[in-house]
Amino acid sequence: MFEYLLLEDFGIFTRFQWQEHQKINIIIGENDTGKTYILKLLYCIAKSLEEYTKGSESDNKSWKEILSEKIFWVYQPSKLKLGEIVRKGGNRLNVEAQLQGDEYSFSFGKDTKDTITRCSEGKKINLSALYLPTKEILTAFEAIATINEQLRIFGFDQTYQDLIQALRVPSSLKKLDKPLEDILVNLHTLFQGELSVEKTRFVFKRGREKYDMSQVAEGIKKISILTTLIRNRTIKEGTILFLDEPETNLHPRAIIALCEMLFALSQVGVQIYMATHSYFVLKQFELLARRHQQNIQLCCLERLENISVKFHNLKEGMPDNPIIDASIQLYEDDVRLDLQA
């Protein structure tokens, strides 16, 4: 699990410090406040350490090399320079993180091209990292794979390719632990079907009927990705799961089911980071935190002169935030119209 994060002159952040990380961490803020930037950075650190740990001796790649490549292909900076990620007006970015009790750091300047200049030593640790981007990938699965594997050009960032590789892992025949099996049963009941692989393509099975991905609702595809990753044991204890606006294209009933699923995953050792604009997501996690007396960290980003940040524990209730403010404003507008009628 992540335990600490410090960013200096990274992206749009002058300085960002996150001291307390929980099993579930939710990031909110208006557009262009850096939510995805934070998610992707945490992912780059965790995924590069996973790949460094799994790398064969013949690869002989250092963590610095793997991390440099991961940041380059995830952020896809303009002018093909890592230095473009340094904050405009800054000279050098600095990142410090603590993960599973070990400290990691790296930094590079605005003129850096493709390799991080200063980096701590990588450590072999047992973890896996998964990133679910906003866009659905199943319909364009092969096209995305071709762009990333054969053409090696910017377009879909590497979070998509890493997810494709994870989805290609065949499902295990072994029975899952009961908490994970219960999650799958509940979701199968909700959608009355499941995702399946036939040759190189995905289909959605509902009873005896099969549907191509182009015929399946986006929300079903999104949650089916999670069920597939649980079934093939890619999501397991020790996984760090990143989700960017997972509520997109989901009905409120499905959003609530997704939140309950993610909460259940957090109880079996999965650490979760997610960015959201959804009142339903925020409210459901607040209810879960209070009902089960579990710490759920809320990171609220706000653009003032610079990006400011406030942290709240949802176990203690819902703090004031832009999502709630917008919901209240709609309610007040509705009441005002009724009074004028």
User: Does the structure show a pLDDT above 80 at 145?
Assistant: no
- Res 58 pLDDT > 60: no
Cα-Cα-Cα-Cα dihedral of 245, 247, 250, 253, to 10°? 180
Q: Does pTM surpass 0.95? A: no
Pairwise CA distance, residues 206 & 162, whole Å = 28
For residues 133-160, average pLDDT: 74
CA separation for the pair 185, 26 (Å, rounded): 26
Mean pLDDT, all residues of the chain: 88
d(CA 30, CA 63): 34
pLDDT, one tens digit per residue, over 73-100 is: 999 998 889 999 999 988 999 999 999 9
Which pLDDT value is given to residue 64? 95
pLDDT at residue 313 tops 90: yes
DSSP state of 76: -
In the prediction, which pLDDT does 184 show? 83
pLDDT at 303: 86
Q: Could you list the beta-strand ranges (E) of the chain.
A: 2-10, 13-18, 24-28, 92-99, 102-109, 118-119, 128-132, 194-198, 201-206, 209-212, 239-244, 271-275, 296-303, 307-313
Position with higher pLDDT, 219 vs 151: 219
pLDDT of residue 319: 85
Which pLDDT belongs to residue 250? 85
Question: What pLDDT, on a 0 to 100 scale, did the predictor assign at position 150?
Answer: 65
- The domains of the chain, with CATH numbers, are 2-135+238-340 (3.40.50.300)
- Cα four-point dihedral sign 44, 132, 258, 324: positive
Instruction: Give the tens place of pLDDT for each residue, 234-255.
Output: 999 999 999 999 998 888 888 8
